[in-house]
């Protein structure tokens, strides 16, 4: 019988279909301020807290360091959120990736809690969950946005917040599933038993291998034999 008590899932690219929608929003928000960032530079930043990702892009593309201020970061982040809200409120292309909801149902049927954490703000994350109807379907127990903690990934604070809310003690069996290097790092930093990289999002198998997760899967349903073993 599995000793996993909590499965922590990322959103875009892991459980949520993302045809570079997040990267496109970043691209548009940065371009408003005059920064034309290529997608190949944006994609590796998927998974980070969005304000931190903006800071990383500015450090590379803004030659005058004094222009990189919290005010500028906040302005870009506000534009990013507006673009994401517009997309997630009105797009007909919002859906879970294949096999995700069915797999979540099986996990829940085994008495295992499901938490969702994300680099999105709580506002955007709640909108996505509402569109997908995950609370109504009883698929998730807790949702944590990166703006609810001091620092986002790779720090373990979002997972630790979940553990506190669900009264899960440190050292208990936790599995983390995500599509980026910082998802993997977050899982290890939180002491997760299983840290599963998935190739449905921003990172290829070869890129995930560099982060050395405990497992790599190519579809969401492949996590079941790992966490239920």
Q: Are residues 174 and 150 in the same domain?
A: yes
Q: Are residues 29 and 126 in the same domain?
A: no
DSSP β-ladder status, 215-217 and 113-118: unpaired
The pLDDT tens digits for 151-187 are 999 999 999 999 999 999 876 799 999 999 999 999 9
Q: Are residues 113 and 69 in the same domain?
A: no
Q: Are residues 54 and 116 in the same domain?
A: no
Q: Are residues 51 and 72 in the same domain?
A: yes
Domain region containing 13: 4-18+94-227
Q: What is the pTM of this model?
A: 0.92
Q: Are residues 14 and 67 in the same domain?
A: no
Q: Are residues 152 and 217 in the same domain?
A: yes
Q: Kindly state the tokens that stand for 55.
A: 């800071």
Name the nearest CA neighbour of 28 among 73, 78, 80, 70. 80
The pLDDT tens digits for 59-90 are 999 999 999 999 999 999 999 999 999 999 99
Please determine, for residue 1, whether its predicted confidence score (pLDDT) is greater than 70: no
What is the rounded CA–CA span in Å between residue 166 and residue 7? 12
pLDDT of residue 2: 82
Q: Are residues 105 and 198 in the same domain?
A: yes
118 to 69, 73, 144: CA distances (angstroms): 24, 19, 7
Residue 186 near residue 159 (C-beta atoms within 8 A)? yes
């Amino acid at each position: 019988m599995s000793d996993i008590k909590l499965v922590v899932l990322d959103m875009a690219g892991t459980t949520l279909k993302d045809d570079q929608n997040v990267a496109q929003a970043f691209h548009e928000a940065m371009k408003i301020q005059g920064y034309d960032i290529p997608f190949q530079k944006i994609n590796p930043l998927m998974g980070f807290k969005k304000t931190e990702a903006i800071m990383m892009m500015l450090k590379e593309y803004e030659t005058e360091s004094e222009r990189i201020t919290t005010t500028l970061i906040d302005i870009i982040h506000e534009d990013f959120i507006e673009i994401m809200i517009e997309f997630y409120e009105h797009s007909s292309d919002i859906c879970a990736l294949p096999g995700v909801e069915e797999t979540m149902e099986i996990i829940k049927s085994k008495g295992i809690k499901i938490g969702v954490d994300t680099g999105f703000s709580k506002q955007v994350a709640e909108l996505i969950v509402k569109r997908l109807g995950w609370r109504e379907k009883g698929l998730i127990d807790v949702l944590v946005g990166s703006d609810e903690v001091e620092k986002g990934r790779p720090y373990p604070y979002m997972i630790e917040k979940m553990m506190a809310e669900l009264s899960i003690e440190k050292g208990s069996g936790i599995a983390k599933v995500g599509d980026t290097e910082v998802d993997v790092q977050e899982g290890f930093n939180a002491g997760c038993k299983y840290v599963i990289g998935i190739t449905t999002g921003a990172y290829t198998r070869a890129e995930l291998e560099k982060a050395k997760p405990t497992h790599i899967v190519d579809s969401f349903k492949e996590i079941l034999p790992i966490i239920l073993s």
